[in-house]
Amino acid sequence: MHQMTLAEIARGLADKKFSSEELTKVLLARITQLDPQLNSFISLTEELALEQAKAADTRRANGESGALLGAPIAHKDLFCTQGIRTSCGSKMLDNFKAPYDATVVAKLAAAGAVTLGKTNMDEFAMGSANESSWYGAVKNPWNLEHVPGGSSGGSAAAVAARLLPAATATDTGGSIRQPAAFTNLTGLKPTYGRVSRWGMIAYASSLDQGGPLARTAEDCAILLQGMAGFDQNDSTSIDEPVPDYSASLGDSLQGLRIGVPKEYFSAGLDPRIAELIQNSIQQLQKLGAVIKEISLPNMQHAIPAYYVIAPAEASSNLSRFDGVRFGHRCENPENLIDLYKRSRGEGFGPEVQRRIMVGAYALSAGYYDAYYLKAQKIRRLVKNDFMAAFNEVDIILGPTTPNPAWKLGAKNSDPVAAYLEDVYTITANLAGLPGLSMPAGFVDGLPVGVQLLAPYFQEGRLLNVAHQYQLNTDWHTRTPTGF
Respond yes or no: is residue 175 known to be catalytic: yes
Pick between residue 173 and residue 435 the one whose CB is nearest to ligand GLN: 173
Stretch that binds ligand GLN, among 168-176, 236-244, 366-374, 406-414 (CB under 6 A): 168-176
Binding mask 394-423 for ligand GLN (x = CB under 6 A): ----------------------------x-
Handedness of CA 466, 408, 411, 350 (dihedral sign): positive
Asked if 119 touches ligand GLN (CB under 6 A), the answer is: no
Cis peptide before 151 (omega within 30 of 0): yes
Pick between residue 81 and residue 128 the one whose CB is nearest to ligand GLN: 128
Active-site hit among 19, 40, 76, 90 = 76
Q: Smallest Cα–Cα separation from 257: which of 399, 425, 395, 368? A: 395
Active-site hit among 40, 128, 133, 151 = 151
Q: Smallest Cα–Cα separation from 180: which of 142, 208, 134? A: 142
| Alpha-carbon gap, residue 408 to 3, rounded angstroms | 27
Active-site hit among 152, 175, 315, 437 = 175
Q: Count the Cβ atoms, other than its own, within 10 Å of residue 334.
A: 10
Choose, by CB under 6 A, the member of 72, 173, 190, 435 that binds ligand GLN: 173
Choose, by CB under 6 A, the member of 72, 127, 399, 449 that binds ligand GLN: 127
Choose, by CB under 6 A, the member of 128, 133, 237, 280 that binds ligand GLN: 128
Site for ligand GLN, residues 365 to 384, rule: CB under 6 A: none
User: Distance of CA 156 to CAs 108, 130, 448, Å?
Assistant: 19, 10, 14
Q: What is the DSSP string of 272-317?
A: HHHHHHHHHHHHHHHTT-EEEEE--TTGGGHHHHHHHHHHHHHHHH
Respond yes or no: is residue 286 known to be catalytic: no
Choose, by CB under 6 A, the member of 81, 133, 175, 400 that binds ligand GLN: 175
Stretch that binds ligand GLN, among 119-127, 263-271, 368-376, 395-403 (CB under 6 A): 119-127
Residues 6+ apart with CB under 8 A from 458: 191, 434
Respond yes or no: is residue 437 known to be catalytic: no
State the nearest-atom distance from the C-beta of 314 to ligand GLN, in Å. 8
SS3 string, 320-356, reads: HCCCCCCCCCCCCCCCHHHHHHHHHHHHCCHHHHHHH
CB 483 within 8 A of CB 434: no
Binding mask 193-212 for ligand GLN (x = CB under 6 A): ----------x---------
- First vs last C-alpha separation in the chain: 13
Site for ligand GLN, residues 132 to 161, rule: CB under 6 A: 151
State the nearest-atom distance from the C-beta of 5 to ligand GLN, in Å. 25
CB 53 within 8 A of CB 19: yes
State the nearest-atom distance from the C-beta of 175 to ligand GLN, in Å. 3
State the nearest-atom distance from the C-beta of 304 to ligand GLN, in Å. 13
- Kindly list the catalytic residues: 76, 151, 175
